[in-house]
Amino acid sequence: EPEVTQTPSHQVTQMGQEVILRCVPISNHLYFYWYRQILGQKVEFLVSFYNNEISEKSEIFDDRFSVERPDGSNFTLKIRSTKLEDSAMYFCASTPGAGKRTEAFFGQGTRLTVV
């Protein structure tokens, strides 16, 4: 069964450093997303991406965050100048199309710890 894969599974970084979280969405999917979940809290939407552009972003996705699809298979989330409060599980997801009738496939997440 096709799946979304994320690397690394766990990333530890020093406050102020830059991190890149990587995702390989399902190959024929067109829409890509990042969500995050702070320990013990809800899963929160960060950003959606389609046709090499951000479709929508949440308030969490400030100017320290960026996304990119550099080579047609990978989908990355970059966080510059990391803060302690960026520590969370980050989930990548993809869907074959847009709209309310398509299920999202999630990766297993990257646990980011900022120290």
- Residues at the interface with another protein (CB under 8 A): 4, 31, 33, 35, 37, 42-45, 48, 56, 89, 91, 93, 95, 98-109
Q: How far is the CB of 42 from another protein (least distance, A)?
A: 5
- Which is nearer to another protein, 14 or 59 (by Cβ)? 59
Measure the N-to-C terminal CA separation of the chain; round to a whole number of Å.
Answer: 36
Q: How far is the CB of 81 from another protein (least distance, A)?
A: 26
Structural contact between residues 63 and 112, judged by C-beta atoms closer than 8 angstroms: no
Q: How far is the CB of 61 from another protein (least distance, A)?
A: 12
